[in-house]
Chain A
């Protein structure tokens, strides 16, 4: 894809074509999201394509984090972009554009997880069994359980640990830690009580702490 836009430059002959507009080429890659959104809202698909190109990895990564499946992440991330285009006029800039599209892909993933009954039907008992009971607190935390790991390695290990959580646990972690949602908002989006959000978050964090400490033990052995 050429870096410059494809808007036609009408170099008109003012004597013969006085009314033909003179438009300028848009340098889409150098434009801010806000400008691209404005153009896209007016029907400029190239501006929208630039937005897709700019944020596609983030949207895909969020889908992958939620679904833990590359094909589904691909499908829902693309569907999120389609919905974003269709609802573009509704975007008023209350959040960043990337955040707005991220919320769309999260909603699509949540819908799918609900359909697959992967977020609501996991019983507290099942979670207790999986995580060992809420009476156990977080494992004794070291100052830095992952000290010495390279950033990329650490990122990979956190992703690996997230993958070992149940969908229900992982969902609340994603919504709270990465999306910055409050308990109440998470409860509304997932369709569970605030109390369940709190307990799931606690279990998930304890499990993550355990997994991250395990990886350090593995590494030192």
Chain B
């Protein structure tokens, strides 16, 4: 019976992993060691058998399906160009800013009433007044801005 070190040494011999010196020592001892010979033969046969009959498998999907999933992943993981990202970053701020500016232009050029009624019931006329009304239906708020 061999100890662990001897067994692993013989395996390393079969696998071609021993140093040249150690390999020569093992080869010199083998003819007189039947157990070692048996182990070496067994390991070689087993290795040959396994390598010659490597299990095979077939992808359980059609070529088109298999490839389409790969292609989709490739497209999804394409890195975005930094320049494009930067441009998009600016656009993210620019578009709302342009919207606000457009509203401001419309408001400033809109005709405004020249006459308003005060809470006390009196009228104010011939006063240089302008007003802006903002109404948000969703918030239920109406804001009158009077200048």
Contact = CB atoms under 8 A, between A and B. Distances in A.
Interface of A: 1, 45, 49, 52-53, 56-57, 60-61, 64-65, 70, 73-74, 77-79, 81-82, 85-86, 134-135, 137-141, 143-146, 151, 154-156, 158-159, 162, 173, 176-178, 182-183, 195, 198-199, 201-202, 205, 208-209, 212
Contacts of A49: 67, 71
The 5 closest A-B pairs by CB, nearest first: A159-B55, A141-B42, A61-B57, A138-B42, A155-B53
A213 to B, nearest CB: 10
B136 interface: no
Interface string B35-60: 10011011101110111011111111
Q: Is the interface of B mostly helix, strand, loop or mixed?
A: helix
B77 interface: yes
Interface residues of B, number: 41
A76 to B, nearest CB: 12
16 contacts: A60-B59, A74-B60, A81-B70, A82-B77, A134-B4, A137-B38, A139-B42, A141-B45, A145-B45, A155-B54, A158-B49, A158-B53, A158-B55, A162-B55, A205-B47, A208-B46
Contact of B15 (A144, A145, A176, A208): A176
A137 B57 contact: no
A70 B53 CA distance: 20
A77 B66 CA distance: 10
Interface of B: 1-4, 7-8, 11-12, 15, 17, 35, 38-39, 41-43, 45-47, 49-51, 53-61, 63-64, 66-67, 69-71, 73-74, 77
B8 A199 contact: yes
Interface of A is mostly: helix
A178 B50 CA distance: 8
A137 B59 contact: no
Contact of B70 (A52, A57, A73): A52
Contact of A140 (B15, B38, B47): B38
